[in-house]
Structure 1
């Protein structure tokens, strides 16, 4: 196997000890560096010219890419915080800026870094990117519970992992990690839906998810009889055709007599108190229920 193939297998960034296990000698690494095939990143670490930028930056700090930063490239739903998440050894020191090896890290947030300390072991990690399971466990430590559950749901839904593998990792950690796993479900339609349903659950507001409505298809959430809540994730509803389809669905739901609330990703994630206040007010006024007059008028939610 050629050096280029080995580096690709390791994700473009590798510790020399990993390369040795694949048959690449230290002399071979030095030759590749002199030839410009590999670039030295820090002591014991090299990377290819096209290696992922965030992985390079995490290793430059002195750790491994983890949590949101490792999960998003895999397509796992995450409530993005714009930080570089790096796991380092439990007692690791002499950490560097993600953009300049000569500059001490100092306060991590000043460099846009969220630092994760390994729960066991004092040595710095010798992998450039955490496994999906480890990254999910690290996410529990730095994100609110609902967002962590949503990420677990997403990974399970996409079949990137399974409950058994997650259970092995969670069993070695805290009650909080096991609770997040217990709340997760592979049937969740989206991370945004998970976040909304868990928050409604905490409020004691009953709901149904992915309700099939005639002529409309599946709606994200239905509270009571007639309050339909649709959640516009970042990756959807951005094209002209999708926009038109959303409006067609809303029009038909209104014809059925439903109240329709449509929330964006930013509103659910960053403005939840306002969203919550609106839903609670509608429920308090019992506007989520059919009135006798509406029923006499023949209104109703026709299910498929």
Structure 2
């Protein structure tokens, strides 16, 4: 692979040390450095390089926590306003520093391991975000719950342990995680992925009386899906189980509306 293609495979930015370890000569590196910028000594960046990778290399750290969640395909609603880096120092206000690293990083890219990414998220992010990151990682089978618990035994990990305890692996999307936590916070009996005879599986059954569905972007993507959904809705209604539906945006931006509407239906069905 020529040097330009190799740097591109690394996100368009790399340390010269990485290139030398890959077998490229100092002459190769000097030649390409004439055509592309060197933001600081020891780093070469191609036009359009990954800005997160550039930031991590410039600050001698590894992307982690909420800043590495998307890289691993983990559920996170919004990226943190400041990048999160695993690094040995925290002298800059430009990023949030995580000083603990338990596992080797992701290959040659400036990204912490998926294990450290999840551990950092559990102890750092707000509960809905932390639970979402951990739940998606566990559901994918790429990390193990026992490993997480073993790493979180220390006295400083109480917050992370509490977040991990909220993971139950029932959600099939990030909005479902937030909806479940919202319902549980009200003290309601919540059955996620409940199976109802004649209706099938529903996202949530609240207090055994109200169905709540969180509709993703693929909802009603086909005519057959639309027809089947109408059948399910009618069957549930005939069984005395009213259904409320919400898109992810309402879960994220107007949770109070969901609570009030579920509460209203619970009151109407109490008799």
Q: Normalization by structure 2: what TM-score?
A: 0.77
The alpha-carbon deviation at position 155 of structure 1 amounts to 1.2
In the alignment, does 2:3 pair up with 1:43? no
> What is the alpha-carbon distance in structure 2 between the residues aligned to residue 80 and residue 144 of structure 1?
11
Deviations 1:81-120 (A, max 9, x none): 5735232646444x6xxxxxxxxxxx75xxxxxx211235
Q: Is the 8 A contact 1:59 1:65 kept in 2?
A: no
1:19 equivalenced with 2:19 (yes/no): yes
- C-alpha distance in structure 1 between counterparts of 2:22 and 2:89, whole Å: 29
Write out aligned runs for 1:15-94 (5 A). Answer: 15-34=15-34, 36=35, 39-49=37-47, 51-59=49-57, 63-81=61-79, 83=81, 85-87=83-85, 89=87, 91-93=89-91
Q: Over aligned residue pairs, what C-alpha RMSD do you find?
A: 3.5
Partner of 1:111 in structure 2?
Answer: none
The equivalent residue for 1:191 is: 174
Unaligned 5+ residue runs, structure 1?
A: 96-106, 109-114, 292-304
TM-score (norm 1): 0.70
Task: Report what 1:151 is aligned to.
Answer: 133
Aligned length: 264
- Partners in 1 of 2:219 and 2:134 — Cα distance? 24
Quote the residue 1:166 is aligned against.
148
Q: Is residue 2:196 matched to residue 1:213?
A: yes
Does the Cα contact within 8 Å between 1:6 and 1:22 map onto a contact in 2?
no
Match of 1:250 among 206, 209, 233: 233
Q: C-alpha separation between the residues in 1 aligned to 2:39 and 2:150?
A: 33
User: What is the CA-CA distance between 1:187 and the residue it aligns to?
Assistant: 4.3
Alpha carbons of 1:260 and 1:4: their partners in 2 closer, same or farther (altered >3 Å)?
same
Aligned-pair CA distance for 1:50? 6.1
CA contact (8 A) 1:231 1:264 kept: yes
**Aligned mates of 1:19, 1:208 — CA distance in 2:** 53
For the structure 1 residues 84 and 256, does the alpha-carbon distance in structure 2 shift closer, same or farther, using more than 3 Å as the test?
A: same
Q: What's the CA shift string for 1:215-236, capped at 9, x where partnerless?
A: 5431001012330010123x43
Shift of 1:192: 2.2
